[in-house]
Each structure stands twice: as structure tokens, then as C-alpha cells.
Amino acid sequence: MKFTLLGTGTSTGVPSIGCECETCTSDDPRDNRLRVSVLVEHDGSRVLIDTSADFRQQALRHRIKSLDAVLITHCHADHIFGLDDIRPLNFRHGALGVYANEPAWHDIRRIFKYIFEPSHYGGGLPQVVAHTVEHGAEFSLAPALRVTPVEVIHGRLPVMAYRFNDFAYLTDLSEIPARSLELLRGLDVLVLDCLRLRPHPTHLWLERSLEYVSELRPRRAVFTHIAHDIKHARDASLLPPGVEWGYDGQELSDE
């Protein structure tokens, strides 16, 4: 199993447009964060989580030539606005399976109405095969790649986290319900939302993220969806052993 963090930034990306803070002007490439997304690779299968607003750039940077599926966490702009850019993959490999929960599909069909109710011919539309996922309803993307959708709460919105064998990806959440915690035990790698140091109404912040790490006790925890409040090197000392700030391009593997 390998996770590649394609983006680790909050919804604006880091640097934030017009900002001249210490992080936004940093020379450290780890302080440059595209919008969150992760590539999951296992036994020849390749799965993308979220078509972020930076998907085109991420696909080019990591030379993504094909995908077996796209899993969506939720339909906020930073996670979904790259959906149109799956078209070059469609041209070469045909329609792509996209997995999301019911609330996300409701919004995807509204926001990307032109895909599902085309009003003109031509122009190359994304080819999407829609699948609906439900909390705890495991499915297989390949014989060796089982996926468990796990519901977490993002303010008031039910968002999907995903577990792949002993790896899990949980972004954009303020709460993990008890029934979901039970599906996240015994993890090797946990990638977890951690927006900043100060509290936030719809995201985890440092204190809350660390509480969930102590509760779930993964071998390794890596934080993502990071705002410009966090400067990678400066703020590494805020984290206990086994916990890290993620950065774009980081590879997490059990090999």
C-alpha cells in the first residue's frame, strides 16, 4: 500500500493569494501546499481521493496516466473542482468510476449539471460512472484492495473518510462519531485533518487532532488540510513522536 499526498493545503492553498506571512513567503517547499488529495496505489491499482481544484497540476506533477477509480470525500469546491480534468484519462481509458455519498452526489449533479444533463453536443464531457457509498459498506476496487467508507462529520455535513486495509484518510472533519472510531482501530497509517492551532467550527485543530491520534493509536499519523498558520519546520516541535505535518509529494508506504 502506498499513499502519495498530492496536496496538503487548506481550501485556499498555501501560499494564500496576497498573503505575505512567514509561511506564505517561505522558501521551504513543504510550505507550498496544493488543495488536498491523495493517490492510493496497491498491487497495480491506482485510486484518487478527490479531484481537487489543483488536480490537473497534481496529475502532471506525478505523471498520473490512468486511474482505476475516484473516491470523493465531499462536495466542497477545493475537493471537487478538478472533476472536469479527468477528461484526458477518459479519452484514453474510457469512463471512470466515481464513488461518493448521497449528499455529495446531490451537490455534484447540481454543480456539474452539464456532465449529467448535457445541453449541447461535442466539447468532450467527463465520463463518470456514479457509485454511491455508505458508511461501513465495504467494497472492492481490486481483489487486494478493500475499501471501507467511514462517515465523519464536517461541521454538520456527513463526509466520507476511507480505509484501505490498514491505511486511512480522514480530511475535512470536526468530529468522528463513536461508530466510526470502531472502524479505525489497528491502523498502520492515519492521514488526518489538522487545519491549524486555533479552534475552527468545521475542521479539527491541533489539540483535537492529537486527541484522536491518542484515541486511535495508529503506528504513524500524518496531518493534512493545513492552513498558512502552520510553518512546517518551525512547528514540527509541536508534534509528539509518530505524528508529522504532511507535505505535498510525501509518500507513505508499508513496504
Binding site for Zn ion (CB under 5 A): 11, 76, 78, 172
What's the angle, vertex CA 254, arms to CA 6 and CA 5, rounded to 5?
5
CB of 35 to Zn ion, least distance (A): 7
CB of 216 to Zn ion, least distance (A): 21
CB of 42 to Zn ion, least distance (A): 25
CB of 65 to Zn ion, least distance (A): 26
Residue number with CB closer to Zn ion (30 or 76)? 76
CA 128 to chain centre: 19
Cell numbers given for 34: 496544493
Residue number with CB closer to Zn ion (68 or 172)? 172
Residue number with CB closer to Zn ion (145 or 204)? 204
Q: How far is CA 202 from CA 2, 17, 251, in A?
A: 28, 22, 27
Q: Closest residue (Cβ) to Zn ion?
A: 76
Residue number with CB closer to Zn ion (1 or 10)? 10
CB of 11 to Zn ion, least distance (A): 5
**Residue in 71, 24, 103, 87 with CA at minimum distance from that of residue 168:** 71
CB of 76 to Zn ion, least distance (A): 3
**Residue in 46, 125, 40 with CA at minimum distance from that of residue 90:** 125
Residue number with CB closer to Zn ion (4 or 11)? 11
Residue number with CB closer to Zn ion (141 or 159)? 159
